[in-house]
Structure 1
Amino acid sequence: MPKVIITEKPSVAKNIADALNIKTRRDGYFEGKDYIVTWAFGHLLQLYDAKDYDAKMSKWNMDNFPFIPSAFRYKVKVDPKNKEKPDKGAEKQLKIIYSLLRRNDVDMVISACDFDREGQIIGDTIIYNLKTKKDVYRLLLNEWTPDEVRRGLQNIKPNTEMKPLQDAGISRQWADWVIGINLTSVATLKYQKGRGQALNIGRVLLPTLKIIYDRDKEIESFVPETYFKLTATFKTKNNDEYEGTYFENEEDKFKNKEMLEDIEQALQDKTATVIDKQVEQKREYPPYLFNLSNLQGYITSKYKGWTSDKVLKVAQSLYEKKFITYPRTASVVLEESLVGRAAKVLETLKKGLPYENEIKFSKLKRVFDNSKVESHSAIVPTYLIPKSLTRDEEMVYTAIKNRFIMQFMPVAEYEETKITTKVDSSEITGVFISKGKVQLVEGWKKVEQIESKDMILPFVNVNEIVSIVEHTISSHVTKPPKHHTEKTLLRVMETCGKRYDDEESEEMMDAILSGFSIGTPATRAETIKKLKDVGYITTQNKSLLCTELGKRLVETFPIKELFDLEFTGRLEKTLLDIEKQKFTKDAFMRFIFDFTANSVAKIKNEKEVTINQITTEKKQMEVLGKCPICGHGIIEGQKGFGCSNWKSGCKFVIWKNDKFLSTMKKKPTKTMVKTLLKNGVVTVKGLTSKKGNKFDANLRYEKNPDNEYFSWKIEFIK
């Protein structure tokens, strides 16, 4: 009897069908002798809106809050363009899945959604909403290569074993709904004047905003201070020169310039003696493998125009194409069970590299360590080598591949020399320190051609007398801390504000895996994007800054726990504890309900303050051209360029997020629409093909002969 496999996305269903050699594709599923593979499009079901429980909630009224349902219910996800209607695609796919689960010849359901909290509830809400009596199992994979799919299907687990993960996922979903619906509604009613976008309040949103706010305030209140340094150049008996910086009590920055001037004066006509020389050979290990936050930080700081949200999307695409392992991970090492697989991958990747003979596989503790893995191992390539990638995919894949190869290259080695020189004068109590560094073994640095800056000191002996050639006092000013970038913000979110000097330290790794964090690897990028979308933060080059609205919200909104990193970190830690069966869903939800009710009561009792004043000015609409259906004017709306006669039923529109244009990385512009309406055709430059190549084309927007909708026609320019 065939078993139904449900995946999170169509691309994953295709990977499984290919691995099982299933060729028959039907509407919404693949069908083979032993397996039927169907798919969701992420969440097909969503939680009820407040108004679905009670009609009075369709209008926001302070008296109706707090609103906490006695039981949470699910419905087909809504159409993003019309929130009053269900999404037709989701509705259709659900019917297909349910018809497959009801088939008499099907005896088992296997959820093959992503192995994480969100993936668990995507599958479970679909399966259990039907109240099926059939056995439900779970396929748990870290990559979608054919070998892994076939191996995984031999080791499926009863879905009942995933109850703790389901509880954590449901707890997160219900908690965010209760806090978001109640506090967003009440805050908007209390603190916003004028109609417009609501004042978004969220469990992860506000502490992230506070991190950026705090850094902005730190910079604002920073008072620069001037300090001075004294340097001297010494000459050896062989006429070699080297420079040293003056230190006193292990300090080389001095506020008192007069003191340094006195020392400088005392240097006149003096000699100096080398009183100490230390030469140390040091080993430099490669950075750890990537987890999602490190990958996002690396790419956003290295390349212009990248956001952490974009890095996640590209990594997810590589994962679904079977080229990398699961990207939404917090771990920077691999499970020890992956030793054989990693050796196979390395053997494939190293072929033809100029340093191939230096790459040697070994079961290293820095790479393989079960005690440092939480749920998922670090992100590494699979044994499948990509033949064609887009430019963006190439950047992310290369970073992951290089980081993996580095682990098995020789450790980089350098020699560090420290010379201590004492001026022969009783008036000068301090010493001059010189540091030099010479790379001895390049090792893993060859992979990314990391250049080491050698600072070579001349050869000197201890007790050698040297002459003083010149000396300088330089003036410096202390610098304020830098604004957060996506890289630094992700690090603070990952460790819940705890600062670690060494990003590669054991303490850092333990902190990340403790679950005491703001959000999860999967949600942090989305949080940063939402802060920009709702207008709480803005970007300047790579810097993230609080807007005036963001500042007013932090300074005025009275529920201070939501800005508190400790509070949010504890909530996230509790969700992880639910996964580990150290805490219960019921206890967590009781806390969330009480917190929400108390917060609503507090906001109601606060004095009247305006955080956001929305003024609406009637705009004079510019007519871009004539409607090809009814002849009325085409005007620009929030979501598209449409007919001004829409109230009378004219449906002509060119959506700003048009799917056809977005596949070529273009959005319609006002100029483009004007030309199209005037000439019936428009030349569009800089379109992007599926392979990432740029091209120009003529586009027409023509009515379909059999219905009232329009479709694009493309003519390539030779």
Structure 2
Amino acid sequence: MKSLVIAEKPSVGRDIARVLHCSKPSGGALEGDQYVVTWALGHLVTLADPEEYDKKYQKWDMDTLPMMPEKMQLVVIRQTGKQFQTVKTQLYRKDIGEIIIATDAGREGELVARWILEKANCHKPIRRLWISSVTDKAIREGFAHLEDGRKYQHLYEAAVCRAEADWLVGMNGTRALTCKHNAQLSCGRVQTPTLAMIAKREAQIREFVPQEYYGISLRDGQVCWTWQDKKSGGYRSFDKERMEKICRELKGKQLTVTEVKESKSSVPSPGLYDLTELQRDASRKFGYSAKQTLNIMQQLYEHHKVLTYPRTDSRYISADVAETLKERLRAISIGPYKKLAGSLIMQPLRLNKSFVDDKKVSDHHAIIPTEQFVQMDKMSTEERRIYDLVVRRFLSVLYPPCVYMQTSLKGEAAGENFAARGKVMLEQGWRVVYDQQDKEENEETEESLREQTLPVMKKGETRNIQKMELTKGKTKPPAYFTEATLLSAMENPVKYMESRDAQAVKTLGETGGLGTVATRADIIEKLFNSFLMEKRGNEIHLTGKARQLLTLVPEDLKKPELTADWEMKLSRIAKGQMKRDVFMKEIDAYTREIVEEIKADDGVFRHDNLTSHKCPVCGKRMLAVNGKQAKMLVCQDRECGHREVISRVTNARCPKCHKKMEMYEKGGEKTFICKCGYKERLSAFQARREKEGAGVSKKDVQRYLNKQKKEAQEPVNNAFAQALAGIRLDQKQK
């Protein structure tokens, strides 16, 4: 008898097949002496749409809500139906004695495989491959230590509960809002509190009133001294008269050094990456979206096999992984890392609890390099950048701490206190890994002292004041969210909680905030693609649609506490500490509650972005929306679905300000327009680029334009786009 291995994607399936010596093609699979390897294409099976349960759900009508199926049904996804039949055929082969699940090692990966088995009604014995990288070595070791599939039954149940709960709340909440207000509106346990956090930040910015503050700076020729309040210890005051009086009193005075304090400080490495931390850094340094970073990571994990599993929330490695560090260092001993890694290979490694801790590793350890030989010339620029971030962070934890001598000075003049600070680097430690490319991120705030080079001073000596200045500034409002800071807020949303319940705060900390490392990037993309958020430069702003939506959704759905509570319970289910039925009874009751709340609500939704343009298909007025990369006109009738691209952000740079230009099309003529006012027709742009020797052929340009056109025609990637596409609103609900 042979074992059937089910991988999550074709690329991973082929890698496993090669390691297992399965090379004979066999009806959508690769076969060897002991194993047959086949694969899914991500999810092949999903929960059925409402109309599959009852034909009355084909019409979107408030009277049919809530939709509460007695038993949730599974259906084969139409687009991947052929692959499901291929896998099913392999499952029912008489010479297949057991199934080895080799999908991604996590909650969602478990669901991919188990739903296939359930829909195919296959009950053969199951074993589980659980690996964090897809190198040949990891695959061989994983197959040498396969787990009994029953060990992951609770994880599967948690995954099913998550999917069914999201279906019940999302489908019912979305239908109720859409029917009630005759507009495409959706809600969800993660996306709605995320919007609420952004709304709260925008309110803080709107309500912020700047205040002018003052400080005093003294110079004695070598040192810049900053005034310090005796009571608060702060370096500024809002009392202008007081500060002007101090300045008058300081004239002709000397400053006496009252304290000289030197202390050795040790700063450890920032620690290994989990996915969220990596997405933040990639956004801050390269402007990559969270989704873009995850996609690049998937390529480095699946295709190049040089990094470990990306969807991890741990920043630690386990003791058994620590034993492989020398091998990983040898693999990255190339190019810019050769010298850095080589010096570590030649000596015993420093292992400590700051990055090696079995207790802080759950399903997957931190993102680190694999033992696979690296070919950086085969990587794209984006892949090299992300790889560089991970490798340098990995190297940094193996280097000693950075050590410097911190010197703090205190002085007194005219009865007022003054302070100065400086530091001298004693040992570069882990900072040598960054080779001065990444300056310290100790950004000076209004309340901090700037670092400076200080001369040797003694307590009691006096200094002549050569220059005095009354400094002033204004308090600044909170910054708008960027993708990097929004990821941080989703990971730790405690400050946005209305309640300060200690248990709720603890729950949020233990569950990792809103969503998971694997889902946050998709949630942010969905909010952009459903026109609830838009980008202005690097800043994220809510649209009018989102602000109105937040006044219409049930209050509970806007709170981070809800999703934290769900994730905590799902975690307990995965550990076998809570029954699946108990959780789903709570979800049933909650679903009924939110539908009734939406029905009873007297709020009104009005499109605030209607234009005078009429839809060429149905004749209704169109909505002006800002997509993440394009400005569009979208028909207000979701059933019609017509949309037109007005302009699209391109990679073409303005020759004057070098910013990315937008492409507009009018009367068949394509024109680049920059924010600085520069305009250039496409034909002129092509001629100029050819003259400059940019090496862009007409074929390249045409390929690019075709790609833009294809993207413009793709449907909006809304969480419930397919369901909404068939909307039939009852006239009574208008």
Q: TM-score range by the shorter chain?
A: 0.7 to 0.9
Match of 1:568 in 2: 563
| Pairing 1:72–2:60 present | no
Aligned residues: 619
Query: Per-residue deviation at 1:368?
Result: 0.7
Summarize deviations over 1:209-257 as a string: whole Å, max 9, x none.
111111111101001001100111125xxxx444333432212211111
Match of 1:533 in 2: 529
Q: 1:263 to 1:7 in 2, by over 3 A?
A: same
Q: Secondary structure at 2:313's aligned position in 1?
A: coil
* 1-structure distance, mates of 2:686, 2:2: 50
Q: 1:254 to 1:608 in 2, by over 3 A?
A: closer
Query: Per-residue deviation at 1:191?
Result: 2.2
| Pairing 1:366–2:361 present | no
Match of 2:697 in 1: 696
Query: Per-residue deviation at 1:67?
Result: 0.5
Match of 1:345 in 2: 328
Q: 1:637 to 1:495 in 2, by over 3 A?
A: closer
| Pairing 1:53–2:56 present | no
Say whether the 8 Å CA contact 2:508–2:564 is kept in structure 1: no
Aligned pairs for 1:540-551 within 5 A: 540-551=536-547
Match of 1:432 in 2: 418
Say whether the 8 Å CA contact 2:226–2:235 is kept in structure 1: no
Match of 2:131 in 1: 141
One of 310, 319, 339 as aligned partner of 2:301: 319
Match of 2:518 in 1: 522
| Pairing 1:157–2:147 present | yes
Query: Per-residue deviation at 1:698?
Result: 3.3
Query: Per-residue deviation at 1:696?
Result: 3.4
Match of 1:283 in 2: 266
Say whether the 8 Å CA contact 2:507–2:568 is kept in structure 1: no
Query: Per-residue deviation at 1:162?
Result: 0.7
Match of 2:85 in 1: 95
Match of 1:301 in 2: 284
Query: Per-residue deviation at 1:170?
Result: 0.4
Say whether the 8 Å CA contact 1:553–1:611 is kept in structure 2: no
Match of 1:376 in 2: 364
TM-score using structure 2 length: 0.79
Match of 1:221 in 2: 207
Query: Per-residue deviation at 1:671?
Result: 9.3
Say whether the 8 Å CA contact 1:167–1:578 is kept in structure 2: yes
Match of 2:256 in 1: 273
Summarize deviations over 1:430-488 as a string: whole Å, max 9, x none.
31000112222222222222345962111110111111111111111000010111111
One of 111, 114, 117 as aligned partner of 2:107: 117
Aligned pairs for 1:182-193 within 5 A: 182-193=172-183
Q: 1:602 to 1:374 in 2, by over 3 A?
A: same
Say whether the 8 Å CA contact 1:192–1:614 is kept in structure 2: no
Q: Secondary structure at 1:150's aligned position in 2?
A: helix
Q: Secondary structure at 1:436's aligned position in 2?
A: strand
Match of 2:657 in 1: none
Q: 1:53 to 1:613 in 2, by over 3 A?
A: farther
Q: 1:225 to 1:670 in 2, by over 3 A?
A: closer
Q: 1:608 to 1:540 in 2, by over 3 A?
A: closer
Q: 1:358 to 1:200 in 2, by over 3 A?
A: same
* 1-structure distance, mates of 2:667, 2:516: 41
* 2-structure distance, mates of 1:514, 1:390: 37
User: Which has the higher mean CA deviation after the structures are superposed, 165-174 or 406-415?
Assistant: 406-415
Code of the residue aligned with 2:528 in structure 1: it is K
Say whether the 8 Å CA contact 1:5–1:109 is kept in structure 2: yes
Query: Per-residue deviation at 1:619?
Result: 3.9
Code of the residue aligned with 1:458 in structure 2: it is P
TM-score using structure 1 length: 0.81
Q: 1:400 to 1:465 in 2, by over 3 A?
A: same
Summarize deviations over 1:487-532 as a string: whole Å, max 9, x none.
11111211233599xxxxxxxx998871152101000011111111
Summarize deviations over 1:317-367 as a string: whole Å, max 9, x none.
111122111111110011122111223102332456344554352322111
Q: 1:339 to 1:431 in 2, by over 3 A?
A: same
Q: 1:39 to 1:697 in 2, by over 3 A?
A: farther
Say whether the 8 Å CA contact 1:445–1:451 is kept in structure 2: no
Code of the residue aligned with 1:395 in structure 2: it is R
Query: Per-residue deviation at 1:579?
Result: 1.1
Aligned pairs for 1:206-217 within 5 A: 206-217=192-203
* 2-structure distance, mates of 1:473, 1:282: 32
Match of 2:97 in 1: 107
Match of 2:554 in 1: 559
Aligned pairs for 1:455-604 within 5 A: 455-498=452-495, 514-554=510-550, 556-604=551-599
Q: Secondary structure at 1:166's aligned position in 2?
A: helix
Code of the residue aligned with 2:519 in structure 1: it is T
Q: 1:684 to 1:573 in 2, by over 3 A?
A: farther
* 2-structure distance, mates of 1:232, 1:699: 61
* 2-structure distance, mates of 1:608, 1:539: 28
Q: 1:174 to 1:683 in 2, by over 3 A?
A: farther
Give the superposed CA RMSD: 3.1
User: Which has the higher mean CA deviation after the structures are superposed, 285-294 or 365-374?
Assistant: 365-374
Q: Secondary structure at 1:177's aligned position in 2?
A: helix
Q: 1:498 to 1:16 in 2, by over 3 A?
A: farther
Q: 1:685 to 1:95 in 2, by over 3 A?
A: farther
Q: Secondary structure at 2:699's aligned position in 1?
A: strand
Say whether the 8 Å CA contact 2:291–2:521 is kept in structure 1: yes
Query: Per-residue deviation at 1:374?
Result: 2.4
* 1-structure distance, mates of 2:552, 2:519: 24
Match of 1:645 in 2: none
Equivalent pairs: percent with the same residue? 28
Q: 1:694 to 1:584 in 2, by over 3 A?
A: farther
Query: Per-residue deviation at 1:685?
Result: 8.0
Query: Per-residue deviation at 1:187?
Result: 0.4
Query: Per-residue deviation at 1:183?
Result: 0.5
Q: Secondary structure at 1:107's aligned position in 2?
A: strand
5+ residue gaps, structure 2, are 443-450, 498-504, 618-631, 636-646, 648-662, 671-682, 688-693, 703-734
Q: 1:227 to 1:613 in 2, by over 3 A?
A: closer
Match of 2:427 in 1: 441
Code of the residue aligned with 1:590 in structure 2: it is K
Summarize deviations over 1:579-627 as a string: whole Å, max 9, x none.
1222221111111111110111111112251254786953459xxxxxx
* 1-structure distance, mates of 2:701, 2:216: 71
* 1-structure distance, mates of 2:112, 2:428: 47
Q: Secondary structure at 2:398's aligned position in 1?
A: coil
Q: 1:66 to 1:512 in 2, by over 3 A?
A: closer
Match of 1:199 in 2: 185
Q: Secondary structure at 1:545's aligned position in 2?
A: strand
Code of the residue aligned with 1:444 in structure 2: it is W
One of 419, 422, 429 as aligned partner of 2:412: 422
Code of the residue aligned with 1:104 in structure 2: it is K
Code of the residue aligned with 2:2 in structure 1: it is P
Q: 1:558 to 1:307 in 2, by over 3 A?
A: closer
Say whether the 8 Å CA contact 1:66–1:596 is kept in structure 2: yes
Query: Per-residue deviation at 1:62?
Result: 0.6
Query: Per-residue deviation at 1:670?
Result: 6.9
Match of 2:728 in 1: none
Match of 1:2 in 2: 2
